Amino acid sequence: MRKKLPIGIQTFAKIREENCYYVDKTGFALNLIAQGSHYFLSRPRRFGKSLFLDTLKELFEGNESLFQGLSIHDQWNWSVTYPVIRLSFGEGVVKSGDELKERITELLRHHQHRWGIVCDAVSNAGCFLELIQKCHQKFGQRVVVLVDEYDKPILDNIESSDTALDIREKLKDIYSVIKGADAHLKFAFLTGVSKFSKVSLFSGLNNLKDITLDQRYSAICGYTDVDLDNVFTPELPGLERSEIRQWYNGYNWLGDAVYNPFDLLLLFDQRQFRPWWFETGTPTFLIKLLSQRQQFTPNLARIMAPEALLSTFDVGNFPVEALLFQTGYLTIDSARYLPGRLELTLRYPNKEVQSSLNDSLLQALSGDPMAPAVNVSRLYDILMVDDLPALRELFHSFFASIPHDWYRKNQLAGYEGYYASIFYSYFAALGLDITVEDATNKGRIDMTVRFNHRIYLFEFKVVEMVPKGKALAQLKSKGYSEKYRQYGEPIRLIGVEFSRESRNIVGFEVEVIP
């Protein structure tokens, strides 16, 4: 029987009382509480972090009726309840350190009223500590502290370093209380999108256990394939399961791959495959940063980074790899364990992110927010009918439309990497099956595209750097097509040559292998 879809609902009680679909995460809660007391979790936006924290709140406050039929119900002592202090920074936008101070004051005042306690301390940090101590004393049970979106005030101001630093220091002052109040705490859990370096934000809170890359908790947020089968069965008829996976599955934190829950709920509601999550607020500073740092876009699908780099995140110091991973635009493809070191290979999680992110990057690469949308649609039509002359004309007209001033400002313009990025991002914006630096036993193909039962092998060259005609010649002389003959699909060898002087395609040679 179909139930209500909990779109945008982050309140556990509302989901349970209104008979919404609910994926049982209480087993994770039980394990966390049994194995420790202070935790930190980083997950992208709209992945269910707030709902999980609210579930913890209802659990510790002993609201048994909400947990009937869930895995934790018969394993929890409902006769014991705990005072819970939940600080959420997810609502609204804090624009200064003073606004943050007011926000914290309001949160603490709410909990003083809720628990019937009056704080004498003047500072927010002092009041927070006093509130914890007095709650412990009044109720005879240690306190539970839950912090939701711990980093949002910083991220809202990440482009203004002075403001972000001021906010970071005020948050550090509050979070350090959690360690100082350890004797009065039963449990503490902090969640956010980013994972700021421990030195910068958690220097006074070194007893947090980070479960972000703990494979046991990879599915603590998000839905697994098993969840779809067990919970959402009534919603699946009429939707192709393989297409659901391609579009929305693939997020991985060293354990079970999960779907973005926001995407699935909107899919089940609207019955359309669209970039629902991406459309709800991709940060403009992310696209701006990728553009400013002249990111070679084909590399986004195959980044390799040590785990330590992905945690090197702070105001004024956010490596592209860390930013893309923590915000959910890249995820873990594979892991390699070395002595004292973990190396991770990253990739796009799914078709939604690959196509949408590259569509946004095209606007930045081209300097024209309108042209990419039209050209991507045209590219799809051209590939459907395999019109290779039209493919050449499409890209020639696109490069010709880029303003001269934009070339002048872009340091990559005139180099092979820039032109290859444009080509790659167009195909990636369609969500196609693409391999860059495609390895063979005789070398690497610049880009391989498989679409509509055809295989396209591309080689890119800049004529000022190599003799004209070199691109196609290399594809042929290296025998790159041999790798793909086994599939029995037509192969197109395409040598694309650019000129720095004309800033456009000057060579587009094709050889068709039936």
pLDDT score of 271 more than 60: yes
Query: pLDDT digits over 23-82, tens only?
Result: 999 999 999 999 999 999 999 999 999 999 999 999 999 999 999 999 999 999 999 999
Edge-to-edge strands of the sheet including 341-347? 304-306, 341-347, 331-338
All structural domains of the chain: 24-217 (3.40.50), 225-274 (no CATH), 280-347 (no CATH), 355-513 (3.40.1350)
The per-residue pLDDT for 361 is: 83
pLDDT score of 9 more than 90: yes
The per-residue pLDDT for 422 is: 83
Query: 3-class SS at 328?
Result: coil
Please return the burial class of 260, using the count of CB atoms within 10 Å of its CB with bins 0-12, 13-18 and 19+: buried
Q: pLDDT confidence of 408, banded at 50, 70, 90?
A: low
The per-residue pLDDT for 297 is: 77
The per-residue pLDDT for 226 is: 96
Query: pLDDT digits over 319-341, tens only?
Result: 888 889 999 999 999 999 989 88
Note the pTM of the prediction, 2 decimals.
0.91
For the chain, give the percent of residues with pLDDT over 70.
93
- Check: CB of residue 428 under 8 Å from CB of residue 351: no
For the chain, give the percent of residues with pLDDT over 90.
67
Mean pLDDT value across residues 212-228: 96
What distance in Å separates the CA atoms of residue 204 and residue 66, rounded to the nearest whole number? 36
- Which has the minimum average pLDDT: 259-268, 373-382, 405-414, 489-498? 405-414
The per-residue pLDDT for 207 is: 75
